[in-house]
Structure 1
Amino acid sequence: MTMTLWIFFGVLAAYVIVAASLARLIKNKDDFYVMGEQGSTLLIVGTLAATFLSAVTLMGIAGISYSEGPLVIGALGSFGAWIGTLIAVVYVGRKLKAMGCRTMMDFFDYRFNNKWVSVVALILMVVGLLGYGIIQLIGAGIVLAEIIDVPFPVIIVAFTLALMVFCSLSGMYGVVYTDTMMFFTMLAISFIIAPMLIGDAGFEAMKGLSETLPGFWTLGGADDRPLGWSISQFLVWILFFACTPALVSRVFPAKNDFVILKVAVIGVFFAPAMQLLVFLAAGAMQVLQPGIEPTDRAMIVGFMEHTNPTLAGIGLAGLMASIMSTASTLFVLTGFALARDLYEKLFDREVSERKGVMLGRISQALVAIVVCAVAISRPAGIYWISIYAGAIFAVAWLPTIVAALQWRRMSANAALACMLVGSISFIVVGELKRHDLITLPANVDNLMVAIVLGTIALIGVGLASRPSAYELETFDDLKQKRMSDSTIRDFLARDNGAAKLIREYRQVWLVMVLFVAIALALWGFLFSKLGL
């Protein structure tokens, strides 16, 4: 076995060993679902950034950056993702954590106490998470099978067994700790391998690509995509990232509000910064090796043919990490939904701590088995599910969650109207457009249509009906709950708590100033070198 494969499988084994060793920390359901709310700044930054940087970044979007130019998605898409992630952490995640949520579904149950709202929200979440996760596993498995000469089913089974260890044995502990390990592997890609590829290509040669590929350094790219497509990418990344369970739930294990605020600065800096460097490195591959097909392989070719075997192994391990960090998060949330949000709430609300953990582990194993079987079969239909997955959260969940947090007239009927109209109209309009049965106006796509229709339905039903006494009471209660209040009370209850509180407050400001300066220096350097 080559050095590259030794590193690849060695890193995979390290993840499994660490995750298995963490099973001893699971004493109750809180440990399993939110790691006892003991997440430090490093751990939450690691899991947030690792979840953000998925195989879609290193393969799909890197392929677009290679063929069309880094700005097509990098300028508006990544900026939209940055805004969306900030909203997910600072606004949605903090508010739901203040409510004591252990899963995203806890919010819908608490806010509306309506079976149909919970059922619809649960279905949308399971379909969205599994669709997005499975297609990542399939696409990356196919590419890795070609590169490292290991059969596709073997790679999928290896990933599945590892995921079962992460999710089934150690729950959120396993996901968060292994995500943080994976984060450092991904940092090697973004801050070691990517700059090497950019350096080998040279900034002048990269700038010169616009002469052979007109539009390479424009928002439309070499394929001259319409402005509406770029705006749609900007919107979908904001709207999807702002409410996706994969990012919002990263806040729940955090130790306190200071950890969340530091994560909002550090984690939200690293996520787009890592993406930007990967996209520029993919563009550099157009100089180093034009003509790569399919273009999704651009970064992998860069690892294998333009670095030494050690870095190639680290690069492939980083790709594997991007798959597994996102997949483990998606699958653990699906398992949580089945065990806690479906079984416990519908069939056994008085389940014991020990039985609750056991049910959580069984649900994770079942999800892993189903995912493995579907991924190995490689169904064509799952591709379309994956396309709709992220956008469904944007058009169905986000207006519902924001209105539930901010609008006193928000009711279960309004929530149902928004989720159903938003998701169904997105799918129907998209399919009609894809089959050329309808034509949308210039610079308008089905995402924009669906979120407008869903929001109109929400407002219309909300104004036409009255919220129940329970919904009014929970809204008023919700407005009183702030994450900062519980953190202040906790600190003031400690010895010398006021001094510790002031010190933490100052640290947050110091971190913010430091990372703003780093971001300005990094972006300014790259933009000046590329003449943008």
Structure 2
Amino acid sequence: MTASTPMLVTFVVYIMAMVLIGFIAYRATKNFSDYILGGRSLGSVVTALSAGASDMSGWLLMGLPGAIFVAGISESWIAIGLIVGAYLNWLFVAGRLRVHTEHNNNALTLPDYFTNRFEDSSRLLRIFSALVILVFFTIYCASGVVAGARLFESTFGISYGTALWIGAAATILYVFVGGFLAVSWTDTVQAAMMLFALLITPVFVILALGNYDAAMATIEQANPANFDMFRNLSFLAIVSLLGWGLGYFGQPHILVRFMAADSVKTIPAARRIGMAWMILCLGGAVAAGFFGIAYFNNNPELAGAVNENGERVFIELTKILFNPWIAGIVLSGILAAVMSTLSCQLLVCSSALTEDFYKAFLRKNASQSELVWVGRFMVLAIALVAIAIAYNPESKVLGLVAYAWAGFGAAFGPVVIFSLLWKRMTRNGALAGMVVGAVTVVVWKEFIGLGLYEIIPGFILCSLCIVVFSLLDKEPSASIQKRFDEADQEYKAV
């Protein structure tokens, strides 16, 4: 038995368990609402952990520890920004979105919500928002496929091309079969595995170095600048890292978890659970990368892989420090992170294609069974496109995610916030904001830059357009204002 055999067995058992959950969920999926929103039946624990797991992709266990390992504690600004953004999203958006989507014709998707919220008979909001989802989520899905392929490649020494298909196949299968319930239930299991992996690894790194004081002394000896929160960072760079938190307000794969909660009363408990999980996970990821500096400084003969690619620091520490059976469980945490995010992104893309294109424009009277099967085949189609994009082995997980995160945050974030808080907002304001937000991200990223993360100018310009175009427009209809007031009263009554 080779050293990798226990890890292989662990991975296989884990993947089989996820697929089994998919088939159990298949039996609970009776219509299209069940397939893409779980029939709005999620309790506080599943809502919290599935939102967290769908948010924290392979970036959490690869990109973030890698950034800390390479540049020191200064890269933790991004974690601070994410924590603040996630908390504000839970506080101001989660409960309101749960209520408003139900009052707006029981909307199942964000494009569906926008269309009903603003009574958009032209359906331009539906078309454009669905296109934004498809474009940016296909990039996002590709980043998940890359992360999974890197994990299998480095763990088992197989080729990148083979790893690509293995990493994606299991996820595709359980999403294809079980839909939203499968994704949410597996996310809950995966969130627990991610937490275990991120808490246990830094502890074992410190023990391997002797103790906490010895680890800190070694990091300082390697480079005192590792402790500098402002190392090589301009004001714009810090603002850019904190700006990641703005992305939460517009992420469809996170917002859909709020929409699927069984009641708005579930949200406060879910917020507490979700934020505790997130803070522990981000703290563990930062600690793994930070103490990894000390470990590989003391063991330079083992540092070849991480010096070549810093994003492998968590993987390499796990393989070195743990018994192969334990290492298999811990590394399954990375697979969990990858699969949880990829699965919900595939499902959101599928729902956009099925609900917002197929049903809206091609088959208005399609049966529930037909819509479920169209949704399943759309999952397969999007997955194949994402795999094709991910075939470039030079793809960097963090870079791909940054682009997609900014796209959603700038195009949808202000639209979601204003639609829930401002009754005077109009269809033209929403459309103008969405278009300007999305275009700004692309133009800023490709042509302007200036050292500022593109989500910030995109978010600001989107917000300005919403306000200006709404105020220039005539007031929303009486029926729009009536639905808004009813939803707002229900939310405040809780």
TM-score normalized by structure 1?
Answer: 0.83
2:125 partner letter: V
8 Å contact kept, 2:175–2:347:
yes
Cα distance in 2 for partners of 1:381, 1:218 equals: 25
CA drift at 1:380: 6.2
1:402 equivalent in alignment to 2:411:
no
C-alpha distance 483-321 of structure 1, shift in aligned 2 (>3 A)? farther
1:461 equivalent in alignment to 2:469:
yes
Partner of residue 171 from structure 1, selected from 161, 171, 179: 179
Cα distance in 2 for partners of 1:424, 1:455 equals: 14
3-state SS of paired residue (1:273): helix
Q: Corresponding residue for 1:89?
A: 90
CA drift at 1:387: 3.3
1:242 equivalent in alignment to 2:249:
yes
Over aligned residue pairs, what C-alpha RMSD do you find?
A: 2.5
8 Å contact kept, 1:85–1:247:
no
Partner of residue 268 from structure 1, selected from 275, 282, 302: 275
C-alpha distance 382-256 of structure 1, shift in aligned 2 (>3 A)? closer
**Partner deviation per Cα, 1:70-95 (whole Å, 9 max, x = no partner):** 3x233x32232223223333432322
3-state SS of paired residue (2:228): coil
Q: Corresponding residue for 1:320?
A: 335
**Partner deviation per Cα, 1:335-383 (whole Å, 9 max, x = no partner):** 1111112111222233222222222222222222332333335586999
1:80 equivalent in alignment to 2:81:
yes
Q: Corresponding residue for 1:529?
A: none
8 Å contact kept, 1:256–1:487:
no
3-state SS of paired residue (2:89): helix
Q: Corresponding residue for 1:147?
A: 155
Cα distance in 2 for partners of 1:259, 1:109 equals: 26
Q: Corresponding residue for 2:71?
A: 68
Partner of residue 22 from structure 1, selected from 21, 25, 34: 25
CA drift at 1:34: 1.9
1:322 partner letter: A
CA drift at 1:167: 1.5
In structure 1, runs of 5+ residues without a counterpart are 435-439, 489-532
**Partner deviation per Cα, 1:433-468 (whole Å, 9 max, x = no partner):** 35xxxxx4xx85543333333333332222222245
Partner of residue 338 from structure 1, selected from 347, 353, 365: 353
Cα distance in 2 for partners of 1:423, 1:178 equals: 31
8 Å contact kept, 1:79–1:272:
no
- Equivalent runs, 1:93-104 vs 2, <5 Å: 93-98=94-99, 99-100=101-102, 101-104=107-110
C-alpha distance 45-465 of structure 1, shift in aligned 2 (>3 A)? closer
1:131 equivalent in alignment to 2:139:
yes
CA drift at 1:309: 0.8
Relative to structure 2, which stretch is displaced further, 131-140 or 337-346? 131-140
8 Å contact kept, 2:40–2:260:
yes
Partner of residue 379 from structure 2, selected from 344, 364, 375: 364
8 Å contact kept, 1:94–1:483:
no
3-state SS of paired residue (1:184): helix
Cα distance in 1 for partners of 2:43, 2:483 equals: 28
Q: Which runs of 4+ in 1 moved over 6 A?
A: 379-384
**Partner deviation per Cα, 1:290-331 (whole Å, 9 max, x = no partner):** 353211111011011122112211122111111000100111
8 Å contact kept, 1:198–1:281:
no
Aligned length: 474
3-state SS of paired residue (2:230): coil
Q: Corresponding residue for 1:278?
A: 285
Partner of residue 105 from structure 1, selected from 103, 111, 133: 111
C-alpha distance 322-231 of structure 1, shift in aligned 2 (>3 A)? same
In structure 2, runs of 5+ residues without a counterpart are 298-302
1:387 equivalent in alignment to 2:406:
no
Q: Corresponding residue for 1:494?
A: none
Partner of residue 289 from structure 1, selected from 263, 284, 296: 296
C-alpha distance 192-263 of structure 1, shift in aligned 2 (>3 A)? same
1:73 partner letter: E
C-alpha distance 431-375 of structure 1, shift in aligned 2 (>3 A)? closer
Cα distance in 1 for partners of 2:381, 2:472 equals: 43
3-state SS of paired residue (2:474): coil
2:215 partner letter: M
2:83 partner letter: W
8 Å contact kept, 2:250–2:410:
no
TM-score normalized by structure 2?
Answer: 0.89
Q: Corresponding residue for 2:49?
A: 46
1:479 partner letter: D
